[in-house]
Amino acid sequence: MAEFPPARRAIPGPAPSSGHTLPELLLAVALLAILAAIALPSGQGALARMRVEAASREVVLAIERQRDRALRQGRSATLAVEGAGGLVEQLAAEHSQVELRHNLPAQLRFSANGLLIDGGTVVLAAAGTPLRRCVVWSLPLGVLRLGQYGADPAASPQAGQCRPDPTL
């Protein structure tokens, strides 16, 4: 006698899906585009703010490094501000989208005991953020302070417009 294969039983549940329909895919793409359009401007503003913050910290770090070098070596030192290899050129190469204005001399001089002989103000700004960061070196002690600039960044920098920033 011939044997028949066992009968197959249908498994209850939904039929297998063959994928998403075109209207469903178009709706998903439209929602993603709307979310991206909302997030893009705020992301660009945050990125511009981070650029200004990083550039201002690099200015402070360059000053502190040179001050430390003068102290360790026990002799005076200088830091080029303008010209080839100077602070302004280095920042422009690393942070091309950050605008830097200053009233510093061509070189900052440090005494053998680490005091800054020259002073001035640097203002950093970038398109896409209202943040204007300032770095001020006050004489005669060479006190370095970082703050938020309250005047027009296109004008000549003024130390009196560099206000303390509670977020620092």
Mean pLDDT of the region 64-92: 91
- The sign of the CA dihedral 30, 35, 38, 39 is negative
Mean pLDDT of the region 10-38: 76
pLDDT band at 139 (very low <50, low <70, confident <90, very high): confident
User: Residue 73 is which amino acid?
Assistant: Q
Question: Is the preceding omega at residue 157 within 30 degrees of 0, hence cis?
Answer: no
The reported pLDDT for the residue numbered 153 is 75
Which range is least confidently modeled, 29-38, 65-74, 81-90? 29-38
* Helix and strand numbers, DSSP H then E, in the chain: 2, 7
Mean pLDDT of the region 125-150: 88
Q: What is the mean pLDDT of the chain?
A: 85
Is the Cβ–Cβ distance between 133 and 123 less than 8 Å? yes
Mean pLDDT of the region 137-144: 78
pLDDT band at 10 (very low <50, low <70, confident <90, very high): low
Is the Cβ–Cβ distance between 161 and 151 less than 8 Å? yes
Q: Kindly list the distances between the CA atom of residue 157 and the CA atoms of 44, 72, 106, 133, 162, in Å, as whole numbers in the listed order.
A: 26, 32, 16, 11, 9
Q: How far apart are CA 90 and CA 94, in angstroms?
A: 6
| pLDDT tens column, 94-128 | 888 999 999 999 999 988 988 888 889 999 999 98
Strand partners, 163: 148
The reported pLDDT for the residue numbered 51 is 92
The reported pLDDT for the residue numbered 75 is 93
| pLDDT tens column, 51-69 | 999 999 999 999 899 989 9
Cα angle for residues 139, 140, 141 (degrees, 5° grid):
95
The reported pLDDT for the residue numbered 7 is 60
